[in-house]
């Protein structure tokens, strides 16, 4: 196949067959990548698990696809969710509840400049896993990889989370 038959997502770098879907509206993503994300979210929602892995997929995708069209709150909440999941061991349900608590306080969030690299894993790594258990494992590896890609913001996210979620600082 020639290279024109593929599109590369500007957010995560995944190479997918070009279906002329154009760029995503809210994310720094190719339409083909966003469609793959929608497939993943269908899988996460069908799981109906108590831990609600869906939230981790939402946060990992958003943090990996930060761009100019994304609202600042989306990027900040995604990073807070990744921090809570990866470093604090929160389940997706606990992250969702934390997001709801933080959202009750209206505030202006800064626009975050995404890192050069966004992690080595993409939404396709989860979708290509063979079993549900392997998909969930891949999803958690993706969550950690995206969080690590934002290493230069870890301190800010930790401090912001302590302040807005726990009232510390």
Domain residue spans of the chain = 3-166
Q: For the segment 89-119, what is each residue's pLDDT rounded down to a tens digit?
A: 999 999 999 999 999 987 899 999 999 998 8
Q: For the segment 118-168, what is each residue's pLDDT rounded down to a tens digit?
A: 889 999 999 999 999 999 999 999 999 999 999 999 999 999 999 999 887
Q: For 32-49, what is the mean pLDDT? A: 95
Report the predicted TM-score, pTM, of the whole model to 2 decimal places: 0.94
- Helices 132-149 and 72-86: crossing angle in degrees, nearest 10, is 110
Cβ–Cβ < 8 Å for 9, 122: yes
130 burial class (0-12, 13-18, 19+ CB within 10 angstroms)? exposed
pLDDT of residue 1: 43
pLDDT of residue 166: 87
Check residues 167 and 41 and name the one with the higher pLDDT: 41
- Report the percent of the chain where pLDDT is more than 90: 85
Sheet strands (E) in the chain: 6-8, 15-17
Check residues 42 and 169 and name the one with the higher pLDDT: 42
How far apart (Å, rounded) are the C-alpha atoms in residues 107 and 48?
32
pLDDT of residue 4: 66
Cβ–Cβ < 8 Å for 143, 60: yes
Q: By mean pLDDT, which of 44-48, 54-58, 88-92 is the weakest?
A: 44-48
Over 50: is that where the pLDDT of 38 sits?
Answer: yes
How far apart (Å, rounded) are the C-alpha atoms in residues 12 and 15?
9
């Amino acid at each position: 196949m020639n290279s024109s038959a593929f599109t590369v997502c500007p957010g995560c770098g995944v190479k997918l067959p070009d279906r002329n879907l154009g760029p995503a509206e809210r994310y720094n993503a190719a339409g083909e990548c966003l469609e793959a994300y929608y497939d993943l979210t269908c899988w996460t929602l069908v799981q109906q698990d108590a831990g609600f892995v869906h939230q981790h997929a939402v946060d990992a995708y958003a943090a990996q696809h930060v761009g100019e069209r994304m609202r600042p709150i989306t990027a900040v909440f995604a990073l807070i969710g990744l921090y809570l999941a990866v470093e604090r061991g929160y389940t997706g349900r606990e992250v969702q509840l934390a997001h709801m608590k933080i959202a009750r306080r209206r505030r202006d969030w800064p626009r975050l400049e995404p890192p050069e690299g966004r992690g080595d894993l993409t939404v396709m790594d989860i979708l290509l896993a063979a079993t549900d258990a392997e998909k969930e494992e891949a999803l958690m590896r993706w969550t950690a990889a995206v969080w690590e890609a934002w290493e230069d913001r870890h301190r800010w996210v930790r401090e912001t989370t302590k302040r807005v979620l726990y009232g510390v600082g």
